[in-house]
Amino acid sequence: MGERAHHHPQELQLHIVGDQEEKEENSSLPTSIITNNQATRNPKPKKFGWWIRVALYSLFVLSGQTVATLLGRLYYTKGGHSKWVATLVQMVGFPILFLLYFIPKPKHRNNPNIQTHPQAQAQSQSQSPSLKSLALVYLSVGTIQALTCYLFSFGLSCLPVSTFSLICSSQLAFNAFFSFFLNSQKFTPYIINSLVLLTISSTLLVFQSDSEVPKGVSSGKYALGFVCTIGASAGYGLIVSLTQLFFRRVIRKETFTAVLDMLVYQYLVASVIIMVGLFASGGWEHLGREMDGYELGKVSYVMNLVGTAVSWQVFGIGAFGLILDVSSLFSNSISVVGLPIVPIFAVVFFGDRMKGIKVISMILAIWGFVSYVYQHYLDDAKLKVQRKSVGGDEVSVKSPLNAPIARVGE
């Protein structure tokens, strides 16, 4: 939303089992199984292929997010008007993700003994969520996703793309805010610093001069677009926090299929809701006229929409890969660090001006992002020190950003 890096739940915070929950689950298993499980989760040196994949996925995230956001602004600049169409293209390309179901599944990350032991298998099956629970998860997240995408489209139609992208950086602040209530995230000095900087960064943009208002947009509509963009950022922050909560409390596993299912089904739900809105509003009746009046021609109109849909899914595939190969926090961080890229291209292609308040806002946003990620670095460093102090055994460390991840084999 990726903003949509930051716009997609591909920035999913898939933190699954906390310390106390893991102790309770392991208490019913033989000691040998618990020990093997802990040993196999110790970090190993990364292979060259892993670095190549991470670099490729990061490229997908950054390029997909940037291209999709720029095409979305171009749609409005050249004569597009339908907010519902601009919203639909963010989600409707999800069938591309079906291809991921046919690629070879990653090998089990846990010790095989855990999967073959009858008691462990029985416990794993007993923890599997019911169909009704999964349906409620997908429906709730998909509904919020649909509303968030609409707010995203409305905001993009009213704001310069550079201003829009800078406001979207506030999603990290909203993510931390909602995680405080839903996932018991702790507010460390670095997290608080990040929240303050990102809040000030977005607030400063309110004081831009009227010359920043796009042509044909009234001051009132500009203000409404600003509010909608803030709402979209809050929506994505809520989606990330809810996804973290649902994976920890309901799904209770972070497998290749479980993560992919979450993406596909929420996109499906969101697409259906958006299409209902498109037809219920009567907007579909004006699409032919909108296509005829598009400044770049009918072919460019179709290419713009198709390109936007594909770009969001390229972003989604990249975010999905980073979640599985690294972590959900890293995936979300890559999407947010790409935010300054959009304003740079906006200056080139749309003539947006980067000076004064907008430059200060960008600096504060980057500073807030660095502060947010630095906290994660400190948590990882603390975890490594404690691992070494006990001779390499796995030690669970409560992190204000991450809970220990328990991955269950397919």
- pTM, 2 dp: 0.75
The DSSP secondary-structure symbol of 405 reads P
- Please, what is the end-to-end C-alpha distance for the chain in angstroms? 29
pLDDT, residue 311, reads 93
Cβ–Cβ under 8 Å, residues 201 and 170:
yes
Hey, what amino acid is at 361?
S
Q: Which amino acid is at 213?
A: V
pLDDT tens track of the chain, all 410 residues? 545 544 454 444 444 334 444 444 444 444 333 334 444 444 455 677 878 888 898 899 889 988 999 999 899 988 888 999 999 999 999 998 898 888 876 554 443 333 444 444 445 555 678 899 999 999 999 999 999 999 999 999 998 888 888 888 788 778 778 888 887 777 788 878 877 887 787 777 766 655 567 777 888 888 899 999 999 989 988 888 888 888 888 988 878 888 889 999 999 999 999 999 999 988 788 888 889 888 989 999 999 999 999 999 998 888 888 877 776 666 766 777 776 677 777 777 777 776 677 788 778 878 877 887 787 678 767 777 776 776 544 444 444 444 333 333 33
CB atoms within 10 A of CB 55: 10
Domain boundaries, the chain: 9-35+56-389
Separation between Cα atoms, residue 271 and residue 195, nearest integer Å:
32
Residues 6+ apart with CB under 8 A from 54: 322, 325, 326
Give me the pLDDT at residue 376, please.
67
Give CA–CA dist 113/29, Å, rounded: 11
* Residue 16 dihedral angles phi and psi, to the nearest 5°: -100, -65
Q: Which helix (H) or strand (E) holds 282?
A: none
Q: Cα 123–128–132 angle (5° rounding)? A: 150
Per-residue pLDDT at 374: 80
| Euclidean distance between CA atoms 338 and 169, whole angstroms | 10
Q: What is the pLDDT of residue 378?
A: 80
Whole-number pLDDT of residue 391: 53
* Nearest partner of 59 among 107, 1, 2, judged by Cα: 2
DSSP label at residue 214: P
